[in-house]
Structure 1
């Protein structure tokens, strides 16, 4: 989830200016992934579009998530399915979302690898579909919808931090924010915006610009939130030993708001330079945002405990809209022992399990330790620097980009 307004204003995690200039490149990348056809876009006709997406026997294939809106009349779905069949397109799954006199039909399709999204969209448009939207899918989408929803509910039931991830997996590419304030009794559906009561207080705002939400999706999302509210706060209790290069052992575990007092004590033992490198702002304000950073609504936190039971390091994986930030804080006396690198590897593994495409870290250009830890991941890295602030982005997996 993205940071709350207070954290954005005070530049606690990444810095307000950094957030703004970092949006351009990711937005451009996201724009390449989807193709949408609105009413009035013409084309070469049904026969030409069908030929363009037809799959030859034995040829490489591609998966697509597709939505198209048709009138709720007998035969409309049959025409769409017939057009897909004429194009040699396999329909793997189909869901229908009633909207009064219209229906949104959602497909998972398989075509030839060479198929163009614009041709697939035109094929559906010529068959009577409107507001057609096409996006590349992957093997994770092959799970049928009831099984996928049950799996998401199971994950959310085991860990409070899973709720935003479960909502994103349920609703597709979207941004999720946790907004403090009064908690509404019920949620609301407003086109491309969902508002849901947050069991932790305030509301959860889900936004998806490329296609409006349907009442069916709203009902599913609301059910996940209700499950979270009934179960209360829950954090996995596993503890893992980490042996440092010198042979000394520490413990790594998940952390939450219950660790606030121990985290504040660690802050008190950290130098001004260490806190400045982590928070990129006034040191005196660092303590105020620990509760925010430890909240499972905004991400996951790993804590490192010394043999004496003191908290000596924190690693945060923060849901920043539809991106993911990794941030580290290691107490001065425990630095240069491999703790930061070990935490970063574990955070990256967690991001990969959550199907994040990349993880970025924001630091000062002089923070060679964080840069070295990012390089130690052995992943493709992108560096952006402005006015002494360095953003290093690690790519976790090739982005599923629709061919153009």
Structure 2
């Protein structure tokens, strides 16, 4: 006996699946597992079968066609195919919890894709599933493009793959961005990803900052940003926002700094706001390094900072990064660009064409 995978589409009508299984049974084919994917063109039935050694791929195709199946795909399988789909998905999810950087490889394993490519362009309106391509939104920014010659992708496979990508992004943010930093003066702060629940603390941060600090952060004035504006910054569509809290009050501890990374295309923009009494203590440098590490990890080509020419402390913070930079001046504002190394995810993770971001206001 030999293991085979068979996928075929049948009309989604009562009794049609039983006709197909009966046709296989007449040839001594034992069905080990079956999955049914509902689509607009019918039910896509995915079988793992044990067939007599003398049956060929052509024999199995003929049996499917006699059982009213169409768009048939047949391929030899291995013993690992005996694990049912929920077990395989749970195994891959466990792997991602341990190492979210293997997302590309997990997607390829889940779907048997020929290629998995991370792109800096968001999935947007073009996200979804086609016959041979699948585009998944990466919550960290960008998207994953999957290609498979056959069998064709199904909506159920798309849902599973998108769920894995979202799990990996959530784990990466939790593990990477929730740390305790010890600053050069031995003071400690907790750094974590921001959520909308941080809005009251971030409003208090802005109220505690001097007008000069706010003006340096937003470049357009010293007024307090509206709560709606701050809410958008706390959970950006693309990018990352970090908050630093002092003391041992847990989630209720006062917010003493906020760091934003907003992405557009393959370029991200970074901006910092540090409470006046926490400035010149190394906190801004630590937050900026974490933003750059995140941008590098998810595949941005560069990070930009828009800094007032007179903002010597911020320019000093950038110099402490000890990274190559380029600077352009537009009146009283300097645009500092920090190139990043691009690390592949899966078979390839190329950078797309650069797009200049909007200022993180």
TM-score, length basis structure 1? 0.46
**Is 1:331 the counterpart of 2:271 in the alignment?**
no
Query: Would you say 1:320 and 2:320 are equivalent positions?
Result: no
Of 277, 292, 297, which aligns to 2:232? Answer: 292
Q: In the alignment, which residue of structure 1 is the partner of 2:119?
A: 173
Q: Which residue of 270, 282, 294 maps to 1:350? A: 294
What is the alpha-carbon root mean square deviation over aligned residues? Answer: 4.9
Q: Is the 8 A contact 1:279 1:286 kept in 2?
A: no
Q: Give the corresponding residue for 2:66.
A: none
| Cα pair distance change 1:258/1:170, threshold 3 Å | farther
Output the CA distance in 1 between the equivalents of 2:185 and 2:191.
17
Once the two structures are TM-superposed, the CA of residue 156 in structure 1 deviates from its matched residue by 7.6
Task: After TM superposition, list the pairs within 5 Å mapping 1:74-113 onto structure 2.
Answer: none
Written as runs of structure 1 = structure 2, the 5 A alignment for 1:5-404 is 170-176=116-122, 187=128, 223-227=160-164, 236=174, 239-282=178-221, 283-295=223-235, 297-307=237-247, 309-397=253-341
Higher relative CO (Cα under 8 Å, sequence separation at least 6) belongs to: 1
The structure having more radius of gyration, on CA atoms, is 2
Mark the CA change 1:226 to 1:332 in structure 2 (over 3 Å): closer, same or farther. Answer: same
Contact 1:194 1:213 in 2 (8 A): no
Q: Distance in 2 between matches of 1:265 and 1:159?
A: 36
Displacement after TM superposition at 1:152 (Å): 9.6
Number of residues paired by the alignment? 240
Distance 1:159 1:294 in 2: 25
Deviations 1:334-370 (A, max 9, x none): 1111110111112222222223332221222222222
The TM-score with structure 2 as length reference comes to 0.51
Residue segments in structure 1 that go unaligned for 5+ positions in a row:
1-99, 101-148
Alpha-carbon distance in 2 for matches of 1:349, 1:231: 17
The alignment partner of 1:336 has SS state of coil
Change (3 A) 1:236 1:193: closer
Relative to structure 1, is the Cα distance of residues 174 and 264 closer, same or farther in structure 2, using a 3 angstrom cutoff?
A: same
Aligned residues of 1:177 and 1:321 also touching (Cα < 8 A) = no
3-state SS of 2:119 partner: coil
Q: Distance in 2 between matches of 1:340 and 1:293?
A: 18
Distance in 2 separating the partners of 1:322 and 1:293? 19
Find the aligned partners of 2:340 and 2:169 in 1 and give their Cα distance. Answer: 32
